[in-house]
Structure 1
Amino acid sequence: MKHLLSTVLLALVVCAGFLTSAPALGQIEEDPTQLLQLNTITTAVPFLMIAPDSRSGAMGDVGVALSPDANSLHWNPAKMAFSENEVEMSLSYAPWLRALVDDMNLAYVSSVRRLNKRQAFGVALRYFSLGNITFTDEVGTTIRDFQPAELSLDGGFSQKFTDKFSGGFSARFIHSNLTGGTSVQGADSRPGISVAADLSMYYVNDRANWGKKDGIFSWGMNMSNLGAKMSYTETAARDFIPSNLRLGAAYETILDDYNSLTIALDANK
């Protein structure tokens, strides 16, 4: 019991410290006011960071250490090897920013298949429609109407190394068509294309009992969208894609045969 509490507290402290850590300042003579300024990095294709499923979305976008499901490929590919079912599928659709616009939406379909007791693979397709946009020139003359859209196609694999630990990876093709070839500031535009990869690990202990209640403790790590920059024109600087490191832990208390209570924490960097 004491060992379990120590493990849970350590995992939560590490995640919290990771989330609130500040960058170290080296011994470089610079203007002190410059050191305190934010250096925000703007990325292309931010839709890759949107929670695609209702389960994690309803839990504040946690997911790296939750129990495996059909959406594991997005949150933590390593979880797929622990899937209880041979085949799992999920389909999600969400109107996006519906209070502001009525034609933006995100659709996501994913599937996980267990190959054997220790291996599994998954595929997923994400499609983000930005609605209808009217392009105009410098004086406001309409050039054309267009519906920008972005998509990603994923494939991943997961392998159990022990009965409690697994690793996984996935590859991702990204296509972003925001202008439909419309000339932007005199330069011809094109769809942005990139490829990326995720690397992840997952640990679960299904005998982490708390008092008289059965419990399941898990933690996970996922480095996502590790890939090449992308550009929408020949002349513009290439933009980063939203690479992300996610760490998290979760504890599930089994209340009875039909109910459980889960506490989860994710930290992103």
Structure 2
Amino acid sequence: MSYNKFIFLFLIFTFQLISQGNVGSFSRIGNDARTVSMGNSGVSLIHFPNSGYHNPATIAFMQNTQANATYTFLSLDRNFQTINFAQKIEPRGAFSLGLIASGISNIDLRDGNGTQLGTMSTFEHQYILSFANRMTDNFSAGITVKMNYAKLYDKLTSIVPGFDFGFIYLINPNFSIGASIKEIGSKYKWDTSNLYGQDYGSSTINNFPQITRFGTSYFYEPYNLLLLGEAYEINKNIYYRFGSEFNFNDNFSFRTGIDKYSTATNNPASPTFGFTFNYPFQEYKFALSYAYVLESFGLFNAHWLTLNTTWK
């Protein structure tokens, strides 16, 4: 078997993995330990920079500048990291920047005789820019412009933009509802002409599934308890997410949640847990968050760590 044919078969296999509803799955597993540990139900969550990932409209209610970085511990040589920054724009706006980086490393390349040809890696990146504005004291709308950049092989890459839209309404300071439409126009466009020439190359388009999300959050002040619930539609299936956060004091909080719950499919839900330690230092507030996720079908566990910094 020739080297090019081996690569061809590898790419066919990879296309099958990312085809249909699985395309861009890295962009849907979460963005930070805090929201992941609450079942990823962040479409109505305010005062947090990564909430722009779930719903761009939520960042308009931020009070301070925030930045964070997330690292995950995953199985099967997978890697996943995020970074985010968010800041207010006076008088009623805000913007956020983010990067989601995912990939698989140390893929063993061999020819048809089993001879090792080296190793390779693949990656999927999503660059995120969000804007939001409060139309009234209680209502905001936002938009996210994202660039989906992926590489399967040295000469096989895809760069295509996508968009998110969202809104959020505060019924009162402790009760909010939000909705968003995600991955509008997001896709991968592959052209193998650079690998196999014009005579043998082909063009393939893999569309990201569009996601519609609606959720609510309520902070019950007497018990320092935050409750979240969300429904979302993807590939004509409805799923539910639930989460809670209990603040023991200003320095420690515990969270739990359920992600991907559905009565219409046989896919199991994912239970989530996590906690945060807060440490104020002068005008800064540091927060270290951890999340534990039992991945679908219970085969592997995922561990998330996020370091968040807040300042005026």
Query: 2 CA distance for matches of 1:191 and 1:79?
Result: 33
Q: Which of 216, 221, 241 is matched with 2:179 structurally?
A: 221
Per-residue deviation at 1:174? 1.1
2:190 aligned with 1:232, yes or no? Answer: yes
Per-residue deviation at 1:228? 4.5
2:78 aligned with 1:104, yes or no? Answer: yes
2:2 aligned with 1:47, yes or no? Answer: no
Deviates more, 1:59-68 or 1:136-145: 136-145
Query: 2 CA distance for matches of 1:226 and 1:252?
Result: 31
Query: Greater CA radius of gyration, 1 or 2?
Result: 1
Counterpart of 1:75? 54
Counterpart of 1:122? 96
Matching residue's letter, 1:121? F
Task: For residue 81 of structure 1, give the secondary structure of its aligned residue in structure 2.
Answer: helix
The 5 Å alignment of 1:132-211 reads: 132-181=106-155, 190-207=156-173
Aligned CA distance change for structure 1 residues 233 and 137 (closer, same or farther; 3 Å): farther
Aligned CA distance change for structure 1 residues 139 and 227 (closer, same or farther; 3 Å): farther
Aligned CA distance change for structure 1 residues 149 and 196 (closer, same or farther; 3 Å): same
Per-residue deviation at 1:148? 1.2
1:73 and 1:124 in contact (8 A); partners too: no
Per-residue deviation at 1:147? 1.6
Deviates more, 1:225-234 or 1:154-163: 225-234
Query: 1 CA distance for matches of 2:212 and 2:22?
Result: 15
Query: 2 CA distance for matches of 1:260 and 1:67?
Result: 16
Deviates more, 1:60-69 or 1:195-204: 60-69
Query: 1 CA distance for matches of 2:61 and 2:186?
Result: 30
2:163 and 2:186 in contact (8 A); partners too: no
1:148 and 1:180 in contact (8 A); partners too: no
Counterpart of 1:267? 231
2:54 aligned with 1:90, yes or no? Answer: no
1:159 and 1:167 in contact (8 A); partners too: yes
Matching residue's letter, 2:177? W
Counterpart of 1:5? none
Task: For residue 68 of structure 1, give the secondary structure of its aligned residue in structure 2.
Answer: coil
1:198 and 1:224 in contact (8 A); partners too: yes
Could you list the runs of 5+ residues in structure 1 that have no partner in the other structure? 1-39, 182-189, 208-215
1:175 and 1:191 in contact (8 A); partners too: yes
Per-residue deviation at 1:231? 2.6
Matching residue's letter, 1:243? Q
2:46 and 2:59 in contact (8 A); partners too: no
Query: 2 CA distance for matches of 1:252 and 1:139?
Result: 62
1:48 and 1:242 in contact (8 A); partners too: no
Aligned CA distance change for structure 1 residues 228 and 75 (closer, same or farther; 3 Å): closer
Query: 2 CA distance for matches of 1:63 and 1:45?
Result: 19
Query: 2 CA distance for matches of 1:53 and 1:191?
Result: 27
1:205 and 1:217 in contact (8 A); partners too: yes
Could you list the runs of 5+ residues in structure 2 that have no partner in the other structure? 1-18, 193-201, 234-312
Task: For residue 95 of structure 2, give the secondary structure of its aligned residue in structure 1.
Answer: strand
Query: 1 CA distance for matches of 2:90 and 2:167?
Result: 19
Counterpart of 1:253? 220
Task: For residue 131 of structure 1, give the secondary structure of its aligned residue in structure 2.
Answer: strand
1:132 and 1:148 in contact (8 A); partners too: no
Structure with greater strand share of residues: 2
| TM-score normalized with structure 2 length | 0.62
Matched residues, percent identical?
A: 25
Counterpart of 2:243? none
Q: How many residues align?
A: 206
Per-residue deviation at 1:71? 0.7
Query: 1 CA distance for matches of 2:81 and 2:136?
Result: 35
1:150 and 1:175 in contact (8 A); partners too: yes
1:43 and 1:239 in contact (8 A); partners too: no
| TM-score normalized with structure 1 length | 0.71
Per-residue deviation at 1:180? 2.8
Task: For residue 55 of structure 1, give the secondary structure of its aligned residue in structure 2.
Answer: helix
Per-residue deviation at 1:138? 4.4
Aligned CA distance change for structure 1 residues 242 and 138 (closer, same or farther; 3 Å): farther
